[in-house]
Structure 1
């Protein structure tokens, strides 16, 4: 009888341990600042459960993990306290590429060792950087960011009440692995993040839109970029870059397509022969050039052109200089303003009367932009944004590999 009680106690204790280790969560959000306009939350315990399940389903991964670089200190041994909900945020009026998170330091010696193992260099004033991130130590906390430009402008945390609700993860998250929330003075828009075997999907709650047929059709084309947006979507996208041409310039529709190709670029230089006579030297190099067309539908084309001129996006040759790839030509036909490359003939895809942006990965794209030439970008197959009524979806599709995304 005693053995039964001992066994029962062990089962209860083990169950409690599993619950607190994998399911019980501290939902408090301590470090989201009041000047944040976008918040990304990651449910760490849900991600851990998903990782363990995938790990157990792929035995070949077990031996690979045991052979990992032993010179790198793991996050679990970094001396940092990893919260149940990782809080990543973007600050109002900063670049779209600048993101930050705040973490508590439990062991400064271990954290110092972690920074060394990850090749962080001390910049002075308790700031460190490597090729990817910046770190600032502030007492018992550290700020991690993709930039160090706004370490000193991160405002005080939100109060315990936010929009008449207690500020915790439930204010932003649903049932997904994570969430991304857009904060404004009027409202908060929450979108769930799900990580699948070879896809990351971001969408708003109760989203019933199915873009699979549209994506399948776009993926069969040779264009690396195809987009079609109404005025509302133009406004949302352009606001990310602190621009807005819809309200004052009456643009109500955009259609855009682009292809990439490699061309010979002529380089002319000058030198001198043995008699000091100037001679012309001609050489060639391979460069990547897009062939494209952008068509803006507007009720007042002349006003749109004048706006381009005021913004200095247009020169006297009627070229759209905001696009660095030349030559191109701006033309007006009735209620349409067209910006078209002139290197070779290019034809837009047929109008689909949907709101979307589709970017298909291309090796030429990776060679043109050094910031994209990394392993993550190479594994991306395409990025898709779609909108139908109040439903918004973003899909990042990765190439199929031996292991699901969470194990890579």
Structure 2
């Protein structure tokens, strides 16, 4: 009889332990500043449950050498506390590439050792950096950012109230693994983030739109980039990058098709022979060059062209210089303005009457953009953005692998 009670007590204690380890969450958000305009939340407990389940379902992962990935950064022994909801934010009027999060330090000596192990260099008092991140220590907290330009501009936390509600994770997310929220003076738009076996999907709540057929059609094509957007989508996307170009040129519709290829670039230099005669030297190098076809529909093409000319985006050879890849040619036909690369023609996609951006991964990108030359970007198969009515979807599709994304 006593053994039965002991078993029940042990079972109860294990159940309580599992509950607090994997399910109990502190939903309070202590670090989101009042001047944030985009907030990303990650449900750490749910991510942990998903990781453990995936790990148990893939026995081959159990015996994998833990020292195999030397670039992996573990925070289990970093000396910081990770909240149940990781809070990542972007500040108003800053570059879209600047993101920050705040963590509490529970052991400063251990944290400093962690920074040293991961090649962080102290560039100023309590300010550290490596190739990717900046970290500033302020008392018992540390601010982690992709830039150090706005550490001092991070405002005071929102604390208790937000839009007349108690501030918590429920203000920004429901049942997803995470969320991304766009905050304006009038409202907050929340989008759920779900991590699947080989894709990350971001969509607004109660979204029932299925873009599978459109994605399948686009994936069959060879182009690197396909896009079709109406004026509302152009305005929203340009506003993310702090541009108001759509208001200035009254674009009603945009269609883009683009591809990339490797070409020989001729380099001409001059030197002198033994008799000091000038000689021409011709060498060649491989460069990555895009070919593109861009069609802009507008109700006022003269206004658009004048805007381009005032910005000095059209030169004397009728080339559109805002696109750095030359040569190209800009032309006008009634209510349309066309910008085409002239080295190689690219056919525009058929008019689908949908709003989308489809970017297909291409190995040639890695040699042109150093930031893309890492395993994360190389594993991406495509990126898709789609909009219909009030529903928005972003999919980042990864290449098939023996392990799901959370275990890679």
TM-score, normalised to structure 1's length? 0.97
State the secondary structure of the residue aligned to 1:77.
coil
* Deviation readout 1:62-101 (Å, 9 max, x if unpaired): 1215445689873111110010000000111111111100
Over residues 292-347 of structure 1, what are the superposed CA-to-partner deviations in whole Å (9 max), with x where a residue is unaligned? 01111000001011111222322232211111100111111000011111112222
Counterpart of 2:374 in structure 1 is 374
Mapped partners of 1:69, 1:110: distance in 2: 22
Instruction: Determine the structure 1 residue equivalent to 2:89.
Output: 89
Task: Specify the alignment match of 2:324 in structure 1.
Answer: 324
Q: 1:343 to 1:66 in 2, by over 3 A?
A: closer
Is contact 1:72-1:114 (8 Å) kept?
no
**Distance in structure 1 (CA, Å) of the matches to 2:203 and 2:65:** 33
**2:64 counterpart residue number:** 64
SS of structure 1 residue aligned to 2:26: coil
Displacement of 1:198 in angstroms is 0.6
The aligned residue for residue 46 of structure 2 is: 46
The correspondence of residues 303-342 of structure 1 with structure 2, limited to 5 A, is 303-342=303-342
Contact 2:181 2:191 in 1 (8 A): yes
Q: Where does 1:25-40 land on structure 2 (aligned, <5 Å)?
A: 25-40=25-40
The aligned counterpart of 2:221 is 221
Name the counterpart of 2:297.
Answer: 297
Cα distance in 2, alignment partners of residues 73 and 237 from structure 1: 33
1:236 matched to which residue of 2?
236
1:118-157 alignment, distance < 5 Å: 118-157=118-157
Q: CA separation of 1:206/1:318 partners in 2, compared to 1, >3 Å: closer, same or farther?
A: same
Give the CA deviation at 1:178. 0.4
Once residues 287 and 303 of structure 1 are traced to their aligned partners in structure 2, the CA distance between those partners, rounded to angstroms, is 36
Quote the offset at 1:248 in angstroms: 3.4
Match of 2:207 in 1: 207
User: Once the 2 structures are TM-superposed, how far is the Cα of residue 187 of structure 1 from its aligned partner?
Assistant: 0.5
2:103 aligned counterpart, secondary structure: strand
What SS does the aligned partner of 2:155 have? coil
How many residues were matched structurally? 408
Determine the structure 1 residue equivalent to 2:114.
Answer: 114
Give the drift of 1:9.
Answer: 1.7
Cα distance per residue 1:364-386 (max 9 Å; x no partner) = 11211111111111110000000
Match of 1:186 in 2: 186
| Residue in 1 that maps onto 2:252 | 252
Residues 73 and 117 in structure 1, CA contact (< 8 A), matched pair in contact too: no
Task: List gaps (5 residues or longer) in structure 1.
Answer: none
CA-atom RMSD, angstroms?
1.4
Counterpart-to-counterpart distance in 1, 2:355 and 2:71: 48
Look up the match of 1:405.
Answer: 405
Q: Find the counterpart in structure 1 of residue 22 from structure 2.
A: 22
Alignment of 1:380-391 (within 5 A): 380-391=380-391
Over 3 Å counting, the alpha-carbon distance change for 1:92 and 1:70 in structure 2 is closer
Cα distance in structure 1, aligned partners of 2:10 and 2:69: 37
CA shift for structure 1 position 245:
2.6
What's the counterpart of residue 275 of structure 1? Answer: 275
In 2, Cα distance between equivalents of 1:135 and 1:354: 42
How far apart are the structure 1 equivalents of 2:335 and 2:69?
60
Q: Does residue 154 of structure 2 align to residue 169 of structure 1?
A: no
Q: Which runs of 5+ in 2 are unaligned?
A: none
